A = this chain, B = another copy of it.
């Protein structure tokens, strides 16, 4: 859990700050695509995005190994570039990520895994990051799988 929580709740985020939570995976849902459209429009409207939080199947968005056909948009790549350009944190929930085979180097070492596959600048952290956003007054928007 995030140790920054108590501090954050004492300093509520200013109005107009969004947190986007993505729970739908690319290819099995349109959620990452819709969220990216929303995120771009939010910045264009001078809103701030404090972080993107990937939960459940949404963690697959942070994969470094996805290679869609060259005429299809690579959503992981597009999201990673967007986060880097705009210095926005992208956090994958650690419990969701470990179950679904999405790990960084330190998890790889901790669990003796044969590799790691987290795409920079995504990070892995606990649900406390999400609680932090919700409790600090950020407007949290969820992007679930559709159907």
CB atoms of B27 and A65 under 8 A apart: no
Nearest chain B CB to A80 CB, angstrom units: 13
**Residue A84 CB within 8 A of the other chain:** no
> CA of A127 to CA of B96 in the docked complex: distance in angstroms?
30
B27 x A99 contact (CB < 8 A): yes
29 A-B pairs with CB atoms under 8 Å apart are: A25-B28, A26-B99, A26-B100, A27-B57, A27-B99, A27-B100, A28-B57, A60-B60, A60-B100, A63-B100, A63-B101, A64-B114, A65-B101, A65-B102, A65-B108, A65-B114, A65-B115, A65-B117, A66-B99, A66-B101, A67-B99, A67-B103, A67-B111, A67-B113, A68-B99, A69-B98, A114-B117, A115-B117, A117-B117
Q: A: which residues have CB within 8 A of B?
A: 25-28, 56-57, 60, 63-69, 72, 76, 95, 98-103, 107-108, 111, 113-117
Contact B116 A65 (CB under 8 A): yes
Instruction: A26-B100, A27-B100 are known; give 6 further A-B pairs, CB within 8 A.
Output: A64-B101, A64-B115, A65-B113, A67-B101, A68-B98, A101-B117
